[in-house]
Amino acid sequence: MMQPKKLSSRQLDALRFDSTQQPIAAHTPYRKIFNKHYDFVVHYRLNPDEALQSVTPHQGMRCDFTFASGELLYMIYPEILDVDGNIVLDKRQPIASEGLATMWVLLDSAPYLKRLKERLYVGQKAFWVVGSSVLAEVTVTEICL
Protein backbone atom coordinates (compact mmCIF):
# COMPACT_ATOMS: atom_id res chain seq x y z
CA MET A 1 0.00 0.00 0.00
CA MET A 2 1.16 3.56 -0.67
CA GLN A 3 2.77 5.56 2.13
CA PRO A 4 0.56 8.50 3.15
CA LYS A 5 1.92 12.01 2.68
CA LYS A 6 0.76 15.25 4.23
CA LEU A 7 -2.13 16.62 2.18
CA SER A 8 -2.36 20.17 0.96
CA SER A 9 -5.19 22.34 2.26
CA ARG A 10 -6.65 22.30 -1.28
CA GLN A 11 -6.81 18.49 -1.26
CA LEU A 12 -8.44 18.41 2.15
CA ASP A 13 -10.91 21.14 1.16
CA ALA A 14 -12.06 18.99 -1.77
CA LEU A 15 -13.34 16.46 0.76
CA ARG A 16 -14.20 18.51 3.81
CA PHE A 17 -17.76 19.62 4.39
CA ASP A 18 -17.81 23.00 6.08
CA SER A 19 -21.29 23.92 7.25
CA THR A 20 -20.23 27.56 7.70
CA GLN A 21 -19.84 27.89 3.93
CA GLN A 22 -23.47 26.84 3.38
CA PRO A 23 -22.87 24.79 0.21
CA ILE A 24 -25.78 23.88 -1.98
CA ALA A 25 -27.21 20.80 -0.33
CA ALA A 26 -28.73 19.18 -3.42
CA HIS A 27 -26.54 16.95 -5.56
CA THR A 28 -27.26 17.09 -9.28
CA PRO A 29 -26.96 13.55 -10.65
CA TYR A 30 -23.91 13.14 -12.86
CA ARG A 31 -26.06 11.72 -15.66
CA LYS A 32 -27.62 15.19 -16.02
CA ILE A 33 -24.27 16.99 -15.78
CA PHE A 34 -22.18 14.76 -18.05
CA ASN A 35 -25.00 13.60 -20.37
CA LYS A 36 -23.85 9.98 -20.38
CA HIS A 37 -24.17 6.70 -18.47
CA TYR A 38 -21.84 5.75 -15.60
CA ASP A 39 -18.78 3.73 -16.59
CA PHE A 40 -18.50 1.16 -13.82
CA VAL A 41 -19.75 0.33 -10.33
CA VAL A 42 -17.77 -0.37 -7.18
CA HIS A 43 -18.47 -1.64 -3.71
CA TYR A 44 -16.59 0.70 -1.36
CA ARG A 45 -15.50 0.47 2.25
CA LEU A 46 -14.25 3.65 3.88
CA ASN A 47 -10.88 3.08 5.49
CA PRO A 48 -9.22 6.51 5.55
CA ASP A 49 -5.53 6.96 6.24
CA GLU A 50 -4.63 9.06 9.25
CA ALA A 51 -4.24 12.18 7.08
CA LEU A 52 -7.96 11.95 6.14
CA GLN A 53 -9.41 11.30 9.60
CA SER A 54 -10.63 14.92 9.83
CA VAL A 55 -12.75 14.80 6.67
CA THR A 56 -16.34 13.63 6.27
CA PRO A 57 -16.79 11.84 2.94
CA HIS A 58 -19.98 12.99 1.20
CA GLN A 59 -21.76 12.97 -2.13
CA GLY A 60 -19.97 15.14 -4.67
CA MET A 61 -16.51 14.67 -3.15
CA ARG A 62 -13.57 14.62 -5.53
CA CYS A 63 -11.03 11.86 -5.22
CA ASP A 64 -8.85 9.88 -7.59
CA PHE A 65 -8.91 6.17 -8.39
CA THR A 66 -5.91 3.90 -8.15
CA PHE A 67 -5.44 0.22 -8.77
CA ALA A 68 -3.90 -1.91 -6.02
CA SER A 69 -0.72 -1.93 -8.16
CA GLY A 70 -0.40 1.81 -7.55
CA GLU A 71 -1.33 3.01 -11.06
CA LEU A 72 -3.20 6.25 -10.46
CA LEU A 73 -6.05 7.33 -12.71
CA TYR A 74 -7.39 10.85 -12.52
CA MET A 75 -10.87 12.27 -12.89
CA ILE A 76 -12.88 9.15 -12.14
CA TYR A 77 -15.49 10.38 -9.69
CA PRO A 78 -17.75 8.31 -7.44
CA GLU A 79 -21.47 8.92 -7.17
CA ILE A 80 -22.73 7.34 -3.96
CA LEU A 81 -25.86 5.16 -3.92
CA ASP A 82 -28.09 4.57 -0.89
CA VAL A 83 -29.07 1.10 0.37
CA ASP A 84 -31.95 1.00 -2.14
CA GLY A 85 -29.65 1.78 -5.09
CA ASN A 86 -30.80 5.39 -5.46
CA ILE A 87 -28.39 8.29 -5.86
CA VAL A 88 -27.79 10.13 -2.58
CA LEU A 89 -29.02 13.66 -3.32
CA ASP A 90 -28.13 15.46 -0.07
CA LYS A 91 -24.48 16.57 -0.08
CA ARG A 92 -24.69 17.28 3.66
CA GLN A 93 -25.45 13.66 4.48
CA PRO A 94 -22.31 11.70 5.44
CA ILE A 95 -22.06 8.60 3.30
CA ALA A 96 -22.32 5.10 4.72
CA SER A 97 -19.07 3.46 5.76
CA GLU A 98 -19.73 0.79 3.15
CA GLY A 99 -21.90 0.67 0.06
CA LEU A 100 -22.11 1.00 -3.72
CA ALA A 101 -21.07 3.86 -5.98
CA THR A 102 -21.26 4.40 -9.69
CA MET A 103 -17.98 5.63 -11.18
CA TRP A 104 -17.78 8.33 -13.81
CA VAL A 105 -14.76 8.61 -16.13
CA LEU A 106 -14.45 12.25 -17.14
CA LEU A 107 -11.49 12.08 -19.51
CA ASP A 108 -12.57 11.14 -23.04
CA SER A 109 -9.06 10.59 -24.34
CA ALA A 110 -9.01 7.43 -26.50
CA PRO A 111 -5.65 6.17 -25.11
CA TYR A 112 -6.84 6.78 -21.52
CA LEU A 113 -10.12 4.93 -22.05
CA LYS A 114 -8.36 2.08 -23.88
CA ARG A 115 -5.92 1.63 -20.99
CA LEU A 116 -8.76 1.71 -18.48
CA LYS A 117 -10.81 -0.86 -20.42
CA GLU A 118 -7.78 -3.15 -20.61
CA ARG A 119 -7.13 -2.90 -16.87
CA LEU A 120 -10.63 -3.07 -15.36
CA TYR A 121 -12.30 -6.36 -14.47
CA VAL A 122 -15.09 -7.43 -12.13
CA GLY A 123 -13.64 -8.31 -8.74
CA GLN A 124 -10.65 -6.00 -9.13
CA LYS A 125 -9.40 -4.32 -5.95
CA ALA A 126 -8.60 -0.61 -6.05
CA PHE A 127 -8.70 2.53 -3.88
CA TRP A 128 -10.18 6.01 -3.73
CA VAL A 129 -7.31 8.33 -2.89
CA VAL A 130 -6.71 11.99 -2.10
CA GLY A 131 -3.11 12.85 -2.89
CA SER A 132 -1.34 9.68 -1.79
CA SER A 133 -3.71 9.01 1.11
CA VAL A 134 -6.27 6.23 0.86
CA LEU A 135 -9.88 7.19 1.55
CA ALA A 136 -11.59 3.87 0.73
CA GLU A 137 -10.95 0.36 -0.51
CA VAL A 138 -13.10 -0.53 -3.51
CA THR A 139 -13.97 -3.63 -5.52
CA VAL A 140 -15.25 -3.36 -9.10
CA THR A 141 -18.69 -5.03 -9.36
CA GLU A 142 -19.90 -4.00 -12.84
CA ILE A 143 -18.30 -2.56 -15.98
CA CYS A 144 -20.24 -0.55 -18.56
CA LEU A 145 -17.39 0.96 -20.64
Residue 11 resides in a domain: no
Tens digit of each residue's pLDDT (9 = 90 or more) over 65-98: 998 888 877 789 999 999 999 999 998 888 899 9
* Residue 59 lies in domain: 25-132+138-142
Please list, in sequence order, all residues whose beta carbon lies within 8 angstroms of the beta carbon of residue 74, skipping any fewer than 6 positions away.
64, 107
Residue 73 resides in a domain: yes
CATH of the domain at 90: 2.40.30
| Total domains in the fold of the chain | 1
- Read off the pLDDT of each residue in 33-39 and give the average, rounded to a whole number: 92
Residue 7 resides in a domain: no
Residue 3 resides in a domain: no
Please list, in sequence order, all residues whose beta carbon lies within 8 angstroms of the beta carbon of residue 13, skipping any fewer than 6 positions away.
none
Report the alpha-carbon distance of residue 58 to residue 90 in Å, rounded: 9
Please list, in sequence order, all residues whose beta carbon lies within 8 angstroms of the beta carbon of residue 115, skipping any fewer than 6 positions away.
none
Residue 71 resides in a domain: yes
Residue 113 resides in a domain: yes
